């Protein structure tokens, strides 16, 4: 009986250790100047974290299909929001604000 409880506790502990390693990778790469690769590493690490939490802690692999569908709908909504935000950002034109000399904008104190 004791062996069975150890086996049941093993996946969450190993997942927690994997999440800590992924956290260290995220923190470590934030100190490196890698350009766009920092973003790619960050997104990859975040994706692995989401999959680990969903499969191990939320038990999405063995749960009711309706709960799996709900989780999938949440991910689809998040993807839609990212896509719409990205299209908005990509299609905006940059409008420069009119420049003023700082002395005309600064408040005059004492008068």
DSSP 75-105: HHHHHHHHHHHHHHHHHPPP-PPPP--HHHH
CA distance 17 to 104: 58
Quote the pLDDT of residue 94. Answer: 81
Predicted confidence band at 99 (pLDDT cuts at 50, 70, 90)?
confident
Predicted pLDDT at 3: 58
pTM of the full structure: 0.66
| Percent with pLDDT over 70 in the chain | 85
Longest CA–CA span in the chain (Å) reads 85
For position 26, what pLDDT does the model report? 95
Cα-flanking dihedrals φ and ψ of residue 51, to 5°? -65, -45
DSSP at 3: H
Determine the pLDDT at residue 4.
52
């Amino acid at each position: 009986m004791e062996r069975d409880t150890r086996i049941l506790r093993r996946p969450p502990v190993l997942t927690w250790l994997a999440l800590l390693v992924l956290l260290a990778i995220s923190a470590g790469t934030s100190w490196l100047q890698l350009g766009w690769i920092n973003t790619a590493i960050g997104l990859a690490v975040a994706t692995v974290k989401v999959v680990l939490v969903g499969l191990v802690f939320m038990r999405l692999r063995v749960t009711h299909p309706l709960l799996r569908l709900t989780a999938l709908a949440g991910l689809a909504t998040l993807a839609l929001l990212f896509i719409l935000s990205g299209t908005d950002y990509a299609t905006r034109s940059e409008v420069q604000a009119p420049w003023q000399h700082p002395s005309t904008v600064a408040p005059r104190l004492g008068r």
